[in-house]
Amino acid sequence: MLGDLRQYLPVKGKFDQCKLEVPPESTVDSALQRLRLPDNKPYIVLLNGALQQESDYSSTNLQTDDEITVFPPIKGG
């Protein structure tokens, strides 16, 4: 997790990473729920480097060694 979302990492590991053990058939949504991100914090999700749409979180099943990246929206000009 990047930016100010790092504070929601469940396990202190590397600077911005943690390993989550999730049951088989877990989805992106179920993994994100384990992070307990606040509802009022916007974030962007990548799965193995590909942008995920929020509408697909609950239907995208995770595979062994998938990598989820969560970061706050970036503003700029």
Which 3 state secondary structure label does DSSP give 68? strand
CATH code of 3-71, in short, is 3.10.20.30
Parallel, antiparallel, or unpaired for β 44-47 and 68-71? antiparallel
The arrangement of strands across the sheet holding 50-52 comes to 50-52, 44-47, 68-71
Percent of the chain with pLDDT over 90: 35
Spatial separation of the C-alpha atoms in residues 13 and 74, rounded to whole Å: 24
The C-alpha angle with vertex 8 and arms to 43 and 73, in degrees rounded to 5, equals: 20
Q: What is the pLDDT of residues 51-74, one digit of tens each?
A: 999 999 999 999 988 998 888 887
pLDDT at residue 60, as a whole number: 95
Q: What is the 3-state secondary structure (H, E, C) of 23-35?
A: CCCCEHHHHHHHH
Domain ranges within the chain, ordered by starting residue: 3-71
